[in-house]
Every structure is written in C-alpha cells, then in structure tokens.
Structure 1
Amino acid sequence: MGKRGPAAKPVELKVLEGNRGKRPMSVNLDSTFRPEAGMPTVPKGLSPGARKVWKRLGNELLRYNLISVVHSDLFEELCETVSDVKDLRHSIRARQNLFRSQGKDPMEAFEVNSPNGLPMQHPRYQILKSERQMMLTLLAKFGLSPSEQANVQTAIRAQLQLFEGGEAGKETTSPAAPAAAPSTPRGFADF
C-alpha cells in the first residue's frame, strides 16, 4: 500500500510558492536530495519505439531540468510504456480496419466471444487500459500531467520573479539580469 495523502512537494517549490498556510515551514535545503540535471545514456535493450520516445521526450525534460542520470530506470520504463501504448492502439485500429473492410461494425474490435459464447472485452483492449494508466502515473512523476504541469509553471514564474527581479506577469526590460553576489541563489541548482 502506498503513502497516504497527497504527494510531497519539493522543498524548493514550497519556498518559491510561499507559505500560504501560515504554518511554520521546516526548510533544510542541505538535507534535500537534488540530483544534477542531465540526460542518461540510452539503454542497449530499449525497443525501437521506445528509442524514439527517449529522444523526443528526453530532450524536452532536459531542457526544463526535469531529468537526471539517476532517473534513467524510471525514464526507461516511461518510454517503453508509451511505446507499448502506441503499439496496442495501432493493433486495435488495424483490427477495426479489418472489420470495416469486411462490412462489420468496427466497434467489434473491442470485444471477443468467451469460450461460453458470451461477449467480453478484447484482451488487447484490457492491456491497453492498464498500460495507459501506468503511462499516466509515470508521466505525473516527471511533472508531465496537466495537474503537475500547473505546479511546474507556478515554480517557473516564482523563480523568474525571485531571481530576475521582475514583477509577476511582467517581463524585465533588460536583456540579461544583473550579476548577483556569489551568496545569492540564481536558480534551483543554487539552493
């Protein structure tokens, strides 16, 4: 059984969002595990479809500092799951096209008859549903679901406001932010 309650937010995100609950915050930035952003090497056993996902999605995650070398196993699982979902979806679509060419209802591709003759969901469709659920869970772990994305967007806005001296909703007029003192943090990596 998993942990109870909502998933914990990173300490940096709590600091950037502010103390909305007015409760005392125990912030110890030295004790928080923050791996350095970096792209892991592509595993040798990765399927061809998962390699395409790795290249496409990995560059974007690295661009926003959302991936590290220590995330390689979880990211490999995400890429394989996305690839499997696409393959299963294409398989069901091919089955629908076959039924269309035979003049049958394409929705029959989602069902099959049991040995007793009763209609039931096609096993591929059942697998597709479970793989989609796993994919959504893994995407959320990387901050790629819509609800998690809202948190990341909030953090980026707060970071811009704190570290570039701009106001919320306004862009700074200078092309580069002035150089800060060495003890002043300039981004998440400096916490």
Structure 2
Amino acid sequence: MGKRGPAGKPTSLRILHGDRKDRINDAEPLPPEVEIVPPEWLSEKGQAIWDRLAPSMITRRVLTAWDVDAFGVLCEALARYAVATALVNGSALLVPGGGGLVPNPALKVQADSERTFLTFAARFGLTPSDRQAIKAEVSADGGTSGDAGRLLS
C-alpha cells in the first residue's frame, strides 16, 4: 500500500508559504549544482523533447542533477505518446485481429504513455493545476532569484 493522503509539499515551498517551523525539514538534502546533461538512453524523439523543455527548467532550478532520470522518463513517455498518436491517426481505431475487429493496440500505448507523462509532468509542475501551487520569484534573465531560487533547487 502506498502513502496515504496528499503528496508532501517540498521544503522549499513550505518555507516560501510560511509554514510553521516544526513542519519544515531543515536537514533536507540539496542536489549539487553541476552541469545537467540528458541521459544517454534517450531516444531521438525523447532528446528533442528534452532539448525543448529542459533549458527553462534548469534555469529555474526545477530540474536538478538528481532529477535527470525522472525527467528522461517524462521525455520518453511524451515521445511514445507522439508516435502512438501518429499511428492511431494514420489507421483505424478498430483493426482486424482475434477473429474480428479489436481496438488498435496503439491506443493502449497511447493511453499508457499519456498516464506516465501526466504523472511525471505533475512532479515537475508542467501542468497548469500543478504549476499554480508553485511560487517562485523570476528575475529578468528568467532564472529564480534570491533565497527562493536556491531553495527551489
């Protein structure tokens, strides 16, 4: 059985929101500030998605060295979704199989990829409903500023 209740709020957000001190983990580990490179296992389409999304997330310190693999899974899920959607759009929803017509197998790949993407997208604040819960000051150069920027890493 998984954890119960709502997902925990990151310490950086607890500080920004002014949570009580006894609810703030002052010993939370912080990822090192190193160059963030995509995983080698990304497909060509996954790499293209990484190249499109990662730079602004790195600038805002949402994507850190510890998040590389999780973000890679997000990129691959979106790449699979795009491929499955192209297959579905280029063929029928029902295809011959099993003695009659069956749902196109690409529909399952599409649905599974969408579910994976949305799960990981929420963790990175890439959906409007998840992003509304994140408060970060953004400087003129697009990065986070002050202590909030350091804490949101």
CA contact (8 A) 1:139 1:145 kept: yes
Corresponding residue of 1:110:
93
Q: How many equivalent pairs are there?
A: 147
Question: Are 1:49 and 2:45 counterparts?
Answer: yes
Give the drift of 1:116: 3.1
- Pick the structure with greater CA Rg: 1
Structure 2 unaligned runs (5+)? Answer: 141-145
Corresponding residue of 2:17:
17
2-side partners of 1:63 and 1:24: how far apart?
A: 29
Corresponding residue of 2:126:
144
CA contact (8 A) 1:38 1:67 kept: no
2-side partners of 1:38 and 1:62: how far apart?
A: 11
For normalisation by structure 2, the TM-score amounts to 0.81
Corresponding residue of 2:74:
78
Give the drift of 1:53: 0.6
> Which one of the candidate residues 78, 81, 90 is aligned to 1:94?
90
Give the alignment's Cα RMSD to 1 decimal.
2.6
Q: 1:141 is matched by which residue type in structure 2?
A: R
CA contact (8 A) 1:11 1:27 kept: yes
Give the drift of 1:33: 2.1
**Structure 1 residues 32-88: Cα deviation after superposition (integer angstroms, max 9, x where no partner):** 122245552233332111111111111021122101111111111111111111111
For normalisation by structure 1, the TM-score amounts to 0.67
In percent, how many aligned pairs have the same letter?
26
**3-state SS of the aligned residue for 1:151?**
coil
1-side partners of 2:128 and 2:13: how far apart?
A: 17
Corresponding residue of 2:59:
63
**3-state SS of the aligned residue for 1:41?**
coil
CA contact (8 A) 2:85 2:110 kept: yes
2-side partners of 1:145 and 1:38: how far apart?
A: 26
Corresponding residue of 2:143:
none
2-side partners of 1:43 and 1:16: how far apart?
A: 31
1-side partners of 2:117 and 2:18: how far apart?
A: 31
> Which one of the candidate residues 19, 23, 27 is aligned to 1:26?
23
2-side partners of 1:87 and 1:69: how far apart?
A: 28
1-side partners of 2:51 and 2:34: how far apart?
A: 14
Of structures 1 and 2, the one scoring higher in RCO (CA 8 A, sep 6+) is 2
CA contact (8 A) 2:122 2:130 kept: yes
Distance 1:39 1:79, change over 3 A: farther
Q: 2:148 is matched by which residue type in structure 1?
A: G
Corresponding residue of 1:122:
104
**3-state SS of the aligned residue for 2:102?**
strand
